[in-house]
Amino acid sequence: MTVEEWAELPEDTPGELVNGWLVQDEMPDFVHEALVAQLIEVLRAWTRTRDGRAYGSEGKLRIGPRQGRKPDVWLYLKGRRPEPYGAASVAPDAVIEVLSRRARDGRRDRIEKPDDYAAVGVRYYWLVDPKLRALEIYELGADHRYVRALAAARGRLEQIPGCEGLTLDLDALWAEIDDLERARKKS
């Protein structure tokens, strides 16, 4: 399958394109979705005055003729935008992946996806690990490899690489997980 054929699949067709094959996506749980929603909310509020945009996870990113990914969160800065239709070939400035509980999904996010995102020039790669309650931000180097630029587990972050003026409250992010867990225990 080509990236163009992948881009034309019905919206509810799950999967990423890997070496010409449609590979099943992770099946996100509510912890994953709550974190994605909260990150998009924070990033949209921040980008509103900076001519940027934050998008959700069903957009398709062209990596190559037979390769495509669907980041959990896309971040475009300073007037940059993806194409409105099909698989985007304009790489975002940053992508965020929220790690899922399944080991194979974590391996994909930590081992396979960084190479793909680096290949198309995504400058910042964020990993949010709800199990460890950790955020890691990697910056693309001149050698097209990611180097860790930030790692944090708690507190209020006010200096985020590539995102001048953005404040991210990790404690509030993790509180979303606590809220879901409390609700589950009550039922």
Supply φ then ψ for residue 78, to 5 degrees: 45, 60
3-54 confidence digits (pLDDT tens) = 999 999 988 788 889 999 999 766 678 899 999 999 999 999 999 999 999 9
Phi-psi region of 129 (alpha: psi -120 to 50; beta: other; left: phi over 0): beta
83-104 confidence digits (pLDDT tens) = 999 999 999 999 999 998 877 7
pLDDT band at 125 (very low <50, low <70, confident <90, very high): very high
What lies within 8 Å, CB to CB, of 8 at 6+ separation is 86
User: CATH number, domain at 75?
Assistant: 3.90.1570.10
Instruction: Judge whether residue 176 has pLDDT over 90.
Output: no
Model-level pTM greater than 0.75?
yes
Residue 21's DSSP bridge partners are 18
Domain carrying residue 9: 3-186
139-167 confidence digits (pLDDT tens) = 999 999 999 999 999 999 999 999 999 99
Say how many domains are in the chain. Answer: 1
Which candidate, 75, 90, 56, places its Cα nearest to that of 125?
A: 75
The one-character DSSP state at 99 is P
